[in-house]
Structure 1
Amino acid sequence: MKSSIKRAGALTATVCLLALSGAALTACATHEVDFQGEGEGFVGPGAPVQAVLETPSVGTAGQDAADDPAVWASASPVTVMGKTTPGFIAGTDKKSGLYIYGFDGQILQFMPEGLLNNVDLTEGLSVGGRPQVVLGASDRTPGKTGISLYLFDPAGTGGNGVRPWGAIATDVIEPYGFCFARRGAEIHAILVGHEGELRQFVLSVDAAGQPVSREVRRAEIGTISEGCAADEATDALYIAEENVGLWRYGLNPASGAARTLVQPIAKDILVADAEGLTTLTDGDKRYLIGSSQGDSTFPVWRIDGTAPEYKGRFKIVDGVVDGVTGTDGLAAASGVVGPFPEGLVVIQDDVNDVGTQNFKYVDWRDIRRALGL
């Protein structure tokens, strides 16, 4: 999301008055803190990393359109619209629909699905006896606001592609952030509203092969929020409140609104707007990567311990393709991801050098090396 208040003059951010002691919170006092914003395209300090390739520009020209990606890697090749690929990247054009890209950055499929904002995907559900990849996207299209759902059949052939499956209805007026999470055998769909609403659902399949959802948590984050990512191993749900900071909630919906402020908005660490979030597993280590949109950098925390540990920041600089500024969303996948042997991070680029906004592919090994992880 591009905030109308973040880059010119002083940015007013609301932050919680608390000692960063790790204690869970259900509410907090607030006060106004001035943050001195920078100009459009400003890039703050961070370890330099280069992207290795990029997608074509999204189809909606001249607008803030490309938003959020998701990455899926298959153990064996699959067919998407007649093309063989070891997986795909889904990416939203929030003015018009959903793109499906190959690991070479080329477009495999486009679905004119309306005003989709954030997208995520997961495995673990079968429809008609066939295991499926499930995609979900926060949908702001008038008359269908909620979570739009899609399926991909890894065993499909020929014209096989991502197809609409249904939706999760919600009372959120403007759906914004979205992520899937696994809790044991359950698949949870988590929606973040523009005004800071938090809604969590358990997703299942009925006898007719249609999606069934059950709301299991509703809470209020406070102010405009978007990015979310889950870590099942530590029962954690991370949410970025754009002008406040990074929160850690319990992934267990019974934890309600209790939360801990991991990182408040702060110069050279996390600059408003705090945007996308993604997790990545690297051997026995797990990391959370965020988007510090206000200075076009990416803070990284190690999250497999008792509390998140800040490890530094990186930035995407010019190289084979141009650098990255003003990122909305990002996503990562671990292990072998097509031609990326140890993981891939895909990042939305707000100001592309040629054409309109697009997505950049970054080899995880380059990030790990740059930060000494």
Structure 2
Amino acid sequence: MRRTLTTLLTAASLIALAACATHEVDFQGEGAGLIGEGTTVHAVLETPSVGAPGQDAADDPAVFASAKPVLVEGHTVQGFVAGTDKKSGLYIYGLEGEILQFLPEGLLNNVDLIDGLMVDGRRQIVLGASDRTPGKVGVTLYLFDPAGTGANAVRLWGRIPTDVVEPYGFCFARRGETIDAILVGHEGEVRQFDLTASADGQPVARELRRFGIGSISEGCAADPETDALYLNEENVGLWRYGLNPASGATRTLIQPIAPGLLVADAEGLTTLADGEKRYLIASSQGDSTFPIWRIDGATPAYVGRIVVRDGAVDGVTGTDGVAALGGRVGDRFPEGVVVVQDDVNEGGTQNFKYIDWRDIRTALGL
């Protein structure tokens, strides 16, 4: 049953919620066994394990698909998944979960990617990751040339420095011809930049807006078609801001933290376009579920939530990051894929699981 969630809270209620959000709830390990109610789906494949036993390492993915085969470190693929190991760097996985490349870049947390940036006269894929590495704090940027040949691979491009003490969440957004990079600090500091390339091919970032969410925040996703920027305040709820920097800090609480809907930590966020329909998927880390809203209307409409249970591979618990891409994502995912981090991975350390969007759509009757 679809319900439109329009949540109006009084100032007193917001103050009470914020007062409860004074520290981060860490569900790594013990909380991973808390599984809430939701419609069952199954992951169809997974990546190799990330990090050492007991280590909170795998964090956040991003998905790229190409209409034509591309080369990554000598592998011919139809796309890839970028996934952070927040203890050591960035993995590039194939659409079957295999490792294509590893960039030992340090303490990367969230990653996102976007296509269409012109660099040196060529259309490039740009990847960005929030970086907590001492001496490199900010956003670390990478490029991938989809038309590249030979030793083509994801390569370091540059950095966006910041005054944010601990970069945490990150996402890209396209506003017309403009590409924006949006950084979320651990304590809810938001910095929005526009990103271009200089005449000599170097990254140029210009700060457009800054504001504070209020407390610990991470998940970040944009829907340019409705001028929306969605941000998860981990122990408070899901907020909708304007994507246009001129909107300042004006916001609407779409869903407060609540049992059976969104449970702290509210972590990753991603959007998926399925034809004319668009969806927002969140990671409800506290009960290992994924609530989903349809967002192409005037207000977000809640459509249900899923639980990824044991199937061809083990189920998903305590998820942090989530990414999705609709449309054809290689032969394996002809109508889209959702990739999620798995906190406790049977038979190994943390990793990333791939879910066929068709399975989610069928399970929820979308």
TM norm structure 2: 0.93
Displacement of 1:158 in angstroms is 2.1
| 1:29 is aligned to 2:22 | no
The one of 248, 253, 258 aligned to 2:250: 258
Q: Which moved more, 1:126-135 or 1:208-217?
A: 126-135
Equivalent position of 1:367 in the other structure: 360
SS at match of 1:141: coil
- What is the CA–CA distance in structure 1 between the aligned matches of 2:213 and 2:279, rounded to whole Å? 23
The structure with higher relative contact order (CA 8 Å, sep 6+) is 2
1:240 has 2:232 as partner: yes
* 2:47 aligned partner, one-letter code: T
Amino acid at match of 1:301: W
* Conserved? CA contact 2:181–2:194, under 8 Å: yes
Give the match for residue 344 of structure 1: 337
Q: Does 1:20 align with 2:7?
A: yes
Does the aligned pair in 1 maintain the 2:32–2:288 contact within 8 Å? no
Q: CA deviation at 1:39?
A: 4.5
Deviations 1:197-254 (A, max 9, x none): 0110000000110000000000000000000000000000000000000000000011
Displacement of 1:61 in angstroms is: 4.0
Corresponding residue to 2:93 among 101, 120, 124: 101
- Alignment gaps of 5+ in structure 2: 1-5
2:104 aligned to 91, 97, 112, which one?
A: 112
Tell me the SS of whatever aligns to 1:76: strand
Q: Percent identity?
A: 72
- Which of 207, 211, 214 aligns to 1:215? It is 207
**Matched residues in 2 for 1:21 and 1:327: separation?**
28
Q: Is the 8 A contact 1:22 1:260 kept in 2?
A: no
Question: Is 2:58–2:83's contact at 8 Å kept on the other side of the alignment?
Answer: yes
SS across alignment from 2:33 = coil
**Counterpart AA for 2:15:** A
The answer as to whether partners of 1:116 and 1:138 remain within 8 angstroms in 2 is yes
Q: CA deviation at 1:59?
A: 4.0
Give the paired residue count: 352
Q: Answer yes or no: is 1:158 the counterpart of 2:144.
A: no
| 1:28 Cα offset (Å) | 4.9
Structure 1 gap ranges (5+): 1-18
The amino acid that maps onto 2:152 is N
75-84 or 152-161, which deviates more:
152-161
- In the alignment, structure 1 residue 305 sits paired with structure 2 residue 293: no
Task: Specify the SS of the correspondent of 1:29.
Answer: helix
**Given the superposition, is the C-alpha separation of residues 72 and 22 from structure 1 closer, same or farther in structure 2, using an over 3 Å criterion?**
farther
Q: 1 CA distance for matches of 2:220 and 2:9? A: 19
- What is the match of residue 64 of structure 2? 72
